[in-house]
């Protein structure tokens, strides 16, 4: 006998959740050139949504528009039910939008602990911050071992862990990850995806941008494919993973 919960398809359960991020007909330009040409998608509370697509598709540009670091040329982005227009990146971080950028962006000349403390710069609850640093260390034991090492001397994978840990230190509502597996060894890629899945299982809402389509769809509730500035496919993570068009275009089959 199965419980009621486990008989509800994942999609249906997620469908009832509150929409945290709603992107409608988003357009973003660099000078006169449109990089994002009318994109629609949404992220609901507790979901892990993967946005996949090849080089230059417009994934990072979309992330930057969501976090208030690039202006919208058209369309709308609602976060927590209100437009992000006119809000700067700072405002949005305060409202719980945390992004781990492509290339990680750790503070190279600071130690691991100092980087994590920087992640909590919007908070002033000392005890809570200390407790959260310990939680990050539980998630990433490697960081604990090296807590006083300068971030710039760590491996790419370790820096990715630190960048994720630092983003979690501001207790985000939504975690945005831009190509977390880029340039990492297969073993480190495994570890990073394990952690993303873990963080998601603990209830975090995650928008994951990845070129590693297979791994990103394996852990996703839903996925979107972006090509040349538009969304060309969308669906459940598993469903997309088995879609012959996705497999041909992004999984090398
Ligand atoms: N600062 C910029 N100035 C001009 N054009 C840009 C700038 N940044 C990105 N572009 C262009 O916008 C398009 C989308 O770029 P974007 O970085 O969003 O792609 P992406 O999907 O993140 O690619 P990748 O997987 O390689 O990171 C590309 O054609 C890119 O050349
Ligand atoms: Mg990118």
Where does the pLDDT of residue 11 fall: very low under 50, low under 70, confident under 90, or very high at 90 and above? low
Tens digit of each residue's pLDDT (9 = 90 or more) over 132-146: 999 999 999 999 999
Protein residue with least CA distance to atom 17, ligand 1: 60
Sequence-ordered list of residues with C-beta below 8 angstroms from that of 103, at least 6 positions apart, any chain: 182
Instruction: Give me the pLDDT at residue 184, please.
Output: 92
Atom of ligand 1 nearest to the CA of 62: 18
- What's the mean per-residue pLDDT of the chain? 91
Q: Which letter, b or e, does each residue of 207-220 get, where b requires 16 or more Cβ atoms within 10 Å of its Cβ? A: bbbbbbbebbbebb
192 by Cβ neighbours in 10 Å (0-12 / 13-18 / 19+) ranks as buried
DSSP 3-state of 217:
helix
Protein residue with its CA nearest to atom 30 in ligand 1: 56
How confident is residue 121, by pLDDT bands cut at 50, 70 and 90? Answer: confident
The ligand with the least distance to the CA atom of 211 is 1
Closest atom of ligand 1 to CA, residue 64: 18
Q: Mean pLDDT throughout 82-101?
A: 93
DSSP 6-20: HHS-HHHHHHTSPEE
Which ligand is nearest the CA of 70, by number?
Answer: 1
Q: Which of 87-91, 192-196, 217-221 has the lowest mean pLDDT?
A: 87-91
Q: What are phi and psi of 89, to 5 degrees?
A: -55, -40
Confidence check: pLDDT of 65 > 80: yes
- Residue 55 vs residues 201, 212, 226, 227: alpha-carbon distances, Å: 29, 11, 10, 9
Tell me how far apart the alpha carbons of residues 242 and 219 are, in angstroms, rounded to a whole number: 13
Instruction: Compute the distance from residue 192 Cα to the ligand 1 centre, in Å.
Output: 24
Sign of CA dihedral 37, 50, 118, 162: negative
Rounded Cα distance between 231 and 225, Å, is 6
Smallest-distance ligand from the CA of 64: 1
- The helix (run of H) or strand (run of E) holding residue 141 is helix 141-145
Confidence label for 251 from pLDDT (cuts 50, 70 and 90):
confident
- Name 22's Cβ contacts closer than 8 Å, sequence gap at least 6: 42, 76, 77, 78
The residue nearest atom 18 of ligand 1, judged by CA position, is 58
- Which pLDDT score is estimated for 234? 96
6, 88, 115, 214 from 66: Cα distances, Å: 33, 10, 24, 24
Q: What is the pLDDT of residue 137?
A: 96
Residue range 155-175: mean pLDDT, rounded:
94
List of E strands, the chain: 19-30, 33-44, 48-52, 74-79, 82-83, 97-100, 174-178, 205-210, 222-227, 230-236
Residue 7 has pLDDT above 50, yes or no: no
Look at residues 21, 13, 10, 62 and name the one whose alpha carbon lies nearest to residue 44: 21
Whole-number pLDDT of residue 18: 94
Overall average pLDDT of the 47-56 stretch: 95
């Amino acid at each position: 006998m199965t419980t009621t919960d486990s008989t509800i398809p994942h999609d249906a359960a997620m469908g009832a959740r509150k929409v945290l991020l709603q992107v409608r007909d988003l357009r973003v330009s660099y000078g006169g050139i449109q990089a994002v040409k009318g994109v629609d998608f949404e992220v609901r509370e507790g979901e892990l949504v993967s946005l996949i697509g090849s080089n230059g598709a417009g994934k990072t540009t979309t992330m930057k528009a969501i976090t208030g670091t690039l202006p919208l040329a058209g369309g709308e982005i609602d976060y927590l039910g209100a437009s992000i227009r006119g809000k700067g990146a700072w405002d949005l971080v305060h409202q719980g939008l945390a992004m781990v950028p492509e290339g990680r962006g750790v503070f190279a000349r600071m130690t691991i602990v100092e980087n994590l403390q920087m992640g909590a710069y919007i908070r002033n609850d000392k005890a809570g911050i200390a407790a959260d640093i310990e939680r990050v260390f539980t998630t990433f034991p490697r960081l604990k071992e090296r807590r006083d090492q300068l971030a710039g001397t760590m491996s790419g994978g370790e820096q990715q862990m630190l960048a994720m840990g630092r983003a979690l230190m501001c207790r985000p509502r939504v975690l945005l990850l831009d190509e977390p597996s880029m340039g990492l060894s297969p073993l480190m890629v495994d570890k990073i995806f394990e952690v993303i899945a873990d963080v998601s299982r603990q209830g975090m809402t995650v928008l994951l941008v990845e070129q590693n389509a297979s791994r990103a769809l394996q852990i996703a509730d839903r996925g979107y494919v972006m090509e040349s500035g538009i969304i060309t496919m969308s669906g459940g993570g598993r469903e997309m993973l088995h879609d012959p068009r996705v497999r041909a275009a992004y999984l090398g089959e």
